[in-house]
A and B are shown apart, each in its own frame.
Chain A
Amino acid sequence: MSETITALTGTGETDANVQHMSMQLALNRALDEILADNPKSVIFGEDCGRLGGVFRITDGLQSKHGEDRVFDTPLAESGILGMSVGLAMAGFHPIPEVQFDGFAYPAINQIVCQIARMNYRSRGTLPMPITLRVPSFGGIRAPEHHGESLEALFAHVPGLKVVSPATPHDAYHLLKYAATRPDPVIFMEPKSRYWQKGPVNLASADMDTAAHDAGTDSGGNLTGARVVREGRHLTLVAWGAMVARCLQVAELAAEDGIDVEVLDLRWLKPIDAEALATSVGKTRRAVVVHEAPLTSGLGAEVAQLITQSCFATLKAPVERVTGFDVPYPSGDLEDEYIPNIDRILFGIQRVLEYRRG
Chain B
Amino acid sequence: MAEISFPLPDLGEGLIEATVLDWLVEPGQQVERNQPLVELETSKSALELPSPQAGKVVRIHGAPGDTINVGEPLIVFEVPDDTAGIVGTVPKDEAPKRRVRLSAVLDED
Give me the interface of A with B, judged by CB distance under 8 Å: 22, 47, 53-56, 59, 100, 139-143, 146, 191-192, 194-196, 233, 248-249, 251-253, 256-258, 331, 341-342, 345-346, 348-349, 352-353
Contact = CB atoms under 8 A, between A and B. Distances in A.
Interface of B: 2, 81-82, 84-91, 93, 96-104, 106
B86 A54 contact: yes
> Is chain B's interface secondary structure helix, strand, loop, or mixed overall?
loop
A346 B100 contact: yes
Contact of A251 (B82, B89, B96, B97): B96
B74 to A, nearest CB: 14
Contacts of B101: 256, 345
A55 B85 contact: yes
A50 to B, nearest CB: 8
Given A140-B89, A140-B91, A141-B88, A342 B100 contact: yes
Contacts of A248: 96
A345 B100 CA distance: 6
Contact of A140 (B2, B84, B97, B98): B84
Contacts, number: 74
Contacts of B98: 252, 341-342, 345
Contacts of B85: 53-56, 140, 191, 194
A142 B89 CA distance: 7
Contact of B90 (A54, A195, A251): A195
Given A140-B91, A233-B106, A342 B96 contact: no
A349 B82 contact: no
A139 B91 contact: yes
Nearest to B101: A256
Contact of A258 (B2, B84, B88, B102): B102
Nearest to B107: A315
Would you list the 3 A-B pairs with minimal beta carbon distance, nearest first? A140-B88, A352-B104, A142-B88
Nearest to A256: B102
Given A140-B85, A349-B100, 13 more contacts: A54-B85, A55-B85, A56-B85, A59-B2, A142-B88, A191-B85, A252-B96, A341-B98, A342-B98, A345-B101, A345-B102, A352-B102, A352-B106
A141 B89 CA distance: 6
B89 A258 contact: no
Given A22-B81, A345-B102, A100 B96 contact: no
Given A146-B88, A352-B106, A195 B82 contact: yes
A192 B91 contact: yes
Nearest to A196: B93
A194 B91 CA distance: 10
B90 A341 contact: no
B96 A191 contact: no
Contacts of B103: 256, 349, 352-353
A257 B105 CA distance: 10
Contacts of B93: 196
Given A252-B98, A345-B98, A22 B87 contact: no
Contacts of A233: 106
Contacts of A54: 85-87
B16 to A, nearest CB: 18
A342 B104 CA distance: 16
Nearest to A99: B87
Nearest to B80: A195
A349 B104 CA distance: 8
A56 B90 CA distance: 13
Contacts of A56: 2, 85
Nearest to A100: B87
